[in-house]
Structure 1
Amino acid sequence: MTVSGTFDAALGSRWAGADFVRQRALKLLDGVVALWIFAGGIVLIEPSPYEVMFLAVLPVAIMAGIGLYRSTFGLLAIMLCFIPFALIAAIQVRFTPVSEALIFTAVTIFLMLTSYFVANYLAESTEKRMRVIMRAYTVIAVILAIIGTLAYLRLMPGADLFLRYDRAKATFKDPNVYAPFLVLPAMFALQRVLLGRGWQSFIAAGVYFVLFVGVFVSFSRGGWGHFAASSLITLVLVFLLEAGARDKVRILLMTLIGAGMLIVALGGLLSVPAVANFFELRASSQNYDTGETGRFGRQGYALELALDNPWGIGPGEFRNLRIIEEPHNVYITVIHVYGWGGGLLYYLMIIATLWKGTVMLLRPSPYRLMAIPVMATFTMVVAESAIIDSDHWRHFFLLIGMIWGLSTAIANERRVSARREQMLI
């Protein structure tokens, strides 16, 4: 492996007990990471429990001597170059308190740091650590999908706490963030359904169905499209890259059966008049999509504003100007929130991640099975970001870190294949 250095080297030169501490920290690290990922499903305030838990993860990782890989330094360089531009933009605010603007910017920088950590965390012991992350993620996603569904159906006490505008949001602020959060574990479940065997495939099918319903009751059009498109991408990539001749026949049959079951389930949901009426409303064009102050009108104004302010206007300023709603396009938002420099670096982070992800899909590797659901989800988050502000989505930065980490693992792996059951999550 190509390692630029490890934290425990410095400890070893100063303290004879460093190996003992490192071993204990290594045993603790995976558990702390699992709790941190689990906390990613609770985002009602900023900083959220996710950020607080990461403050526990970082010192444990340092004591465990986690390696820093040269192949992830590009991600670190982007973050370090981004910081001054983002801070300069934060102090340009006129309506928003500077303290609030700095907190918003600090959260962005912090989330970038989590990407860098995940990249290095997954670069070694990849199979085991990927399971740690995805098991914790799947557990919290299934819990939230169940909560969201029960709340929407008014089958639980305090249902209104988990709804917004009669749409499921669970423990998120917005249904449009809750729905995309459920996609990644659903894609891993779908992949296991397509390639797995035995009872685990049936469990995976159940997980996929629960998450499908959870996304549906969010009534997020972006979430619906994200789930459907990511499922299609996962199906196609598995079919083309990982399936043998027998697998392909099985996948085609299962796809037909699964699609039929989902249609039946959707039909069952739409048989409820209130659900059908709300679905029809959400599926049609919305008033806030059109006109000068609609979604696309706001985006045009935001772009003009961004181009007129190279240093940015800072977080929270846009809604205090001519239009009170955000532009809901992260590619425009980052230019006026973080300035031209910060925006370009944000673009660079996304482009570099897409490039790394594409390269690792084209290279045969035992870890490619893990990469397929991650890339199927990430590419659609990138696409959805054109109609929503995703720059504070915790799972977006987690996906970036996962891609960089898997890319490093694939580059350092000499094997081109491994037993499938060993690599399916």
Structure 2
Amino acid sequence: MTVTGSFDPALAGSRWPGADFIRQRAMKLLDGVVALWIFAGGIVLIEPSPYEVMFLLVLPVAIVAGLGLYRSTFGLLAILMCFTPFALIACLQVRIAPLNDALIFTAVTIFLLLTSYFVANYVAEATEKRFRVIMGAYTVIAVILSIIGTLAYLRIMPGADFFLRYDRAKATFKDPNVYAPFLVLPAMFALQRVLLGRAWQAVFAAGVYLVLFVGVFVSFSRGGWGHFAASSIITLALVFMLESNARDKVRILMMTLIGAGLLVVALGGLLSMPQVGRFFEQRASSQNYDTGETGRFGRQGYALELAIDHPLGIGPGEFSRMRIVEEPHNVYMSVLHVYGWGGGLMYYILVALTLWKGVGTVLRPSPYRLMAIPVLATFSMVVAESAIIDSDHWRHFYLLIGLIWGLSTAIRNDPRAATYRNHMLI
């Protein structure tokens, strides 16, 4: 196993009679606190969010438990270390936005990068077990939030307005456009189990997929709709080409036809409601805030001009206090003026390296490819959607990065080309 070092009480000068007992207890506790941390990722109403607070519990438990650190994940640590000074320098460039707000925003970004590094090493060390811990907690909170969002949209639950924004479901997120993409990853794992799992597993997974599909739909996020649909197509195509035999292919084709029919029926049922139908027609058509100098694409041009003129950046929150009050909604433009040219370059490297590692994990036969397919399908579409939205504070974006780096490390350290498939279906 390629480990650069793990926590050892003897090396820290803390070899005392209870050290081994404490470490063993921490090991047993670690998976539980990680599950609570992932669960907290579905509650993002303030910054710092409960997700960041819970990580302050996860990190010391992981250190005491002796979590291993892998050489192949050092790229993430290097990006974090290079990104931090550029981002802090950009913070100091703010002129209108409060410096405290800018510092908090940047601190959250750095913190989220650290969570990616943690997840990569956490998953690499005991991949199958820990991947199930993460996806189990993620799926539970995603299904709960999808049900809450749907019930709130239909206004058949108390306090429905709290879980809506502009009459669109957002659950416990600030914005429907963040809530919808959050639901995609567990839906992709459910879809994969529908395609390859045993009959009873496929039926249960189909129910999960349908619940999450409806949750995304009632967010009325056009980016979320496209993200869900494209990730589903990528997952289906990769499973069909890489992980299925002739018998599986026939089943997948049949399940695809049946599933598409059921989704059309579900969609038709939703659109039959007059309010839903009118809102869908409105959201599916071109929006006036997409065009013009102050529209989405006009703002992106202005953001690029600012970035070119300010190599050190202008800092977080500054753009919306200048000539145009709304953010550019393009993370590849935003990172240049929020974190400066250096910080923006580190962000580009992070995305490019993660995509490269993700593609590598999927193309290489391994026991972990079934875990990698839904993760890559989801991450690649987050990368694409980021051209029309600011995703640099999406908690699940950094989780996806950590999962891909962790899986890439696991594949390098495990010489097996395959194993019993049902063991690796999440």
* 2:94 equivalent to 1:93: yes
Cα offset for 1:200? 1.6
1:55-107 deviations in whole A, cap 9, x for unaligned? 00000000000000000000000000000000000010011111110000000
* 2:67 equivalent to 1:70: no
CA distance in 1, matches of 2:345, 2:320: 22
Cα offset for 1:11? 5.3
Q: For the structure 1 residues 250 and 348, does the alpha-carbon distance in structure 2 shift closer, same or farther, using more than 3 Å as the test?
A: same
Q: For the structure 1 residues 288 and 81, does the alpha-carbon distance in structure 2 shift closer, same or farther, using more than 3 Å as the test?
A: same
1:185-240 deviations in whole A, cap 9, x for unaligned? 00000000000003121111000000000000000000000000000000000000
Please list, as runs of the form range in 1=range in 2, the aligned pairs for 1:9-28 lying within 5 A after superposition: 10=10, 13-16=13-16, 17-28=18-29
CA distance in 2, matches of 1:118, 1:274: 42
Show the counterpart of 2:5: 5
8 Å contact from structure 2 (residues 183, 216) kept in 1: yes
8 Å contact from structure 2 (residues 92, 99) kept in 1: yes
Task: Return the TM-score normalized by structure 2.
Answer: 0.99
CA distance in 2, matches of 1:14, 1:207: 47
RMSD: 0.8
CA distance in 2, matches of 1:118, 1:10: 25
8 Å contact from structure 1 (residues 353, 403) kept in 2: yes
Show the counterpart of 2:376: 375
* 2:61 equivalent to 1:60: yes
Cα offset for 1:8? 2.3
Unpaired runs of 5+ in structure 1?
none
8 Å contact from structure 1 (residues 8, 64) kept in 2: no
| Amino acid across the alignment from 1:53 | M
Show the counterpart of 1:43: 44
| Amino acid across the alignment from 1:295 | R
Task: Return the TM-score normalized by structure 1.
Answer: 0.99
8 Å contact from structure 2 (residues 290, 297) kept in 1: yes
Show the counterpart of 1:232: 233
8 Å contact from structure 1 (residues 8, 22) kept in 2: no
Identical pairs, percent: 81
8 Å contact from structure 1 (residues 12, 19) kept in 2: no
8 Å contact from structure 1 (residues 90, 105) kept in 2: yes
Cα offset for 1:358? 0.8
1:130-155 deviations in whole A, cap 9, x for unaligned? 00000000000000000000000001
Cα offset for 1:336? 0.1
* 2:118 equivalent to 1:112: no
SS at match of 1:8: coil
SS at match of 1:4: strand
8 Å contact from structure 2 (residues 190, 205) kept in 1: yes
Show the counterpart of 1:165: 166
Choose 172-181 or 16-25, whichever is displaced more: 16-25
8 Å contact from structure 1 (residues 12, 18) kept in 2: no
CA distance in 2, matches of 1:10, 1:28: 21
CA distance in 2, matches of 1:9, 1:53: 24
8 Å contact from structure 2 (residues 4, 68) kept in 1: yes
Cα offset for 1:178? 0.1
Cα offset for 1:272? 0.5
CA distance in 2, matches of 1:204, 1:228: 17
CA distance in 2, matches of 1:156, 1:9: 52
8 Å contact from structure 2 (residues 89, 312) kept in 1: yes
Please list, as runs of the form range in 1=range in 2, the aligned pairs for 1:334-373 lying within 5 A after superposition: 334-373=335-374
Choose 95-104 or 35-44, whichever is displaced more: 95-104
| Amino acid across the alignment from 2:229 | A
CA distance in 1, matches of 2:10, 2:286: 60
| Amino acid across the alignment from 2:377 | A
Equivalenced residue count is 425
8 Å contact from structure 1 (residues 312, 340) kept in 2: yes
CA distance in 1, matches of 2:410, 2:56: 25
CA distance in 2, matches of 1:361, 1:159: 41
SS at match of 2:89: helix
Cα offset for 1:327? 0.1
1:303-329 deviations in whole A, cap 9, x for unaligned? 011010000000000011110000000
CA distance in 2, matches of 1:342, 1:165: 34
CA distance in 1, matches of 2:14, 2:171: 48
Show the counterpart of 1:307: 308
SS at match of 2:69: strand
1:334-370 deviations in whole A, cap 9, x for unaligned? 0000000000000000000001111111110000000
SS at match of 1:14: coil
Cα offset for 1:18? 2.5
SS at match of 2:5: strand
8 Å contact from structure 2 (residues 9, 15) kept in 1: no
CA distance in 2, matches of 1:382, 1:14: 44
SS at match of 2:350: helix
Kindly report structure 1 stretches of 4+ aligned residues shifted beyond 3 Å: 9-13
Unpaired runs of 5+ in structure 2?
none
8 Å contact from structure 2 (residues 112, 395) kept in 1: yes
Please list, as runs of the form range in 1=range in 2, the aligned pairs for 1:232-381 lying within 5 A after superposition: 232-381=233-382
Cα offset for 1:47? 0.2
8 Å contact from structure 1 (residues 313, 336) kept in 2: yes
| Amino acid across the alignment from 1:117 | F
8 Å contact from structure 2 (residues 94, 315) kept in 1: yes
Cα offset for 1:20? 1.5
CA distance in 2, matches of 1:31, 1:132: 8
Cα offset for 1:9? 5.3
CA distance in 2, matches of 1:10, 1:418: 37
8 Å contact from structure 2 (residues 73, 120) kept in 1: yes
Q: For the structure 1 residues 335 and 414, does the alpha-carbon distance in structure 2 shift closer, same or farther, using more than 3 Å as the test?
A: same
8 Å contact from structure 1 (residues 8, 62) kept in 2: no
CA distance in 1, matches of 2:37, 2:10: 26
CA distance in 2, matches of 1:338, 1:412: 35
SS at match of 2:4: strand
1:231-283 deviations in whole A, cap 9, x for unaligned? 00000000001001100000000000000000011000000011000000000
8 Å contact from structure 1 (residues 148, 217) kept in 2: yes
